[in-house]
Amino acid sequence: MNKFQYIGLIVLTTFLMGIAFPVGKIGMLYAPPFLLMGVRFVLAGGLLAIIVARKPQPRSKKQWVQAAVIGLLQSAGVMGCAYYSMRWITSGESSIITCTNPLLVIVLGALLTRAAYRGRQWLGVAIGFIGVVFTFGLQMDIQPGTFISFAGAVCFASATLLIKRWGSAFDLTVLASYQMLSGGIALLVLSAFTEHPYFIITSTSISVLLALAILCSIVQFSIWFNLLRIGDPAKTSSFLFLVPLFGVLSSWLLLGETVEWYVGVGGAFICVGIFLVNWEGKTVKMVEITKEQPA
């Protein structure tokens, strides 16, 4: 895959991730969050499973368990937390917190996989977290949705690392389908115990559900999983700074949400932090070129 194809796919998948926040909040006018997300992922996972039925399937019980674990984190954990958090905070704020994932990938990668990162990348992590604190610390009180959304970001980072570790043994489109199914089933069970399930059927609610299932699930996850496979998870995840941008702008356009000045400043800190995590200096590249030359 050349550079332009890679960037094009990054922009497409982050755009779909971003618009899923306001579109999902519209959907919550017609169904509670866990039910809405459960139906979304069961529908998306079922459709994709039919499409990829002839591709190589999981070969062992271990692989089925791995797909289920990724689904519990990626679909149930991330999106369940993100949409539930929107009962207290705006969809733009939820997208910003959820997409601190690139910073958490660095932290968890160092702690759990002993990955080595440069000082510049750790500086990026620190600046990114300052951005999160700045964005929400200026409010009179921190909402429960703040912590719920951050829990989703932790799930996102954990799933990213597991996809990179286990993904090579899967056809990633097949993995995307089964992880959505497992996550969707978990959300439906959670809905049955914690919500009063209802779904108001209108042309708008059906359109929202189809957009979430087809564009923001099947297309988005299929592209994202393949991008994680071909690239470094920390660097690929660093481009998720585009998600809050698309999320905030689409929330403003679709929902009329006000973007406070401190949210913008905090978001800028987060973007700088993620840039530092991803940026490679010229000195590093020269060293790599030197190493490739014969002695």
Whether residue 284 lies inside any domain: the answer is no
**One-letter amino acid of 146:** T
DSSP 9: H
- Does the pLDDT at position 291 exceed 70? no
Whether residue 250 lies inside any domain: the answer is yes
Task: Quickly state the pLDDT bin for 140 (edges 50, 70, 90).
Answer: very low
Return the structure tokens found at 244: 């809050």
Per-residue model confidence as pLDDT tens digits over 39-76: 999 999 999 999 989 898 888 899 999 999 999 998 89
Task: Quickly state the pLDDT bin for 86 (edges 50, 70, 90).
Answer: confident
What number of CA atoms fall less than 13 Å from residue 271's CA on the CB side?
11
Q: Other CB atoms closer than 10 Å to residue 168's CB: what's the count?
A: 9
Tokens 């996102």 sit on residue: 156
Whether residue 283 lies inside any domain: the answer is no
pLDDT score recorded for residue 233: 63
DSSP 139: S
Whether residue 46 lies inside any domain: the answer is yes
pLDDT score recorded for residue 293: 44
Whether residue 222 lies inside any domain: the answer is yes
Rounded to the nearest 5 degrees, what angle is found at the Cα of 196, between the Cα atoms of 194 and 201?
130
User: φ, ψ for residue 171 (rounded to 5)?
Assistant: -75, 120
User: How many distinct structural domains can be found in the chain?
Assistant: 1
How high does pLDDT run on average in the chain? 80
Burial of 53 (0-12, 13-18, 19+ CB in 10 A): exposed
For residue 103, which of 150, 142, 64 has the smallest C-alpha distance? 150
For residue 180, which of 39, 27, 52, 83 has the smallest C-alpha distance? 39
User: What is the mean pLDDT of the segment spanning 100-117?
Assistant: 73
Q: Which residue has the higher pLDDT, 265 or 200?
A: 200
| CA dist., res. 249 & res. 19, Å (int) | 9
Per-residue model confidence as pLDDT tens digits over 231-240: 666 667 667 6
Whether residue 33 lies inside any domain: the answer is yes
Whether residue 290 lies inside any domain: the answer is no
Return the structure tokens found at 257: 């949400």
What number of CA atoms fall less than 13 Å from residue 126's CA on the CB side?
6
pLDDT score recorded for residue 285: 39
Burial of 176 (0-12, 13-18, 19+ CB in 10 A): buried
Per-residue model confidence as pLDDT tens digits over 148-202: 888 988 898 888 888 878 878 888 788 889 999 999 999 999 999 988 889 999 9
Domain that holds residue 61: 3-114+140-264
Whether residue 120 lies inside any domain: the answer is no
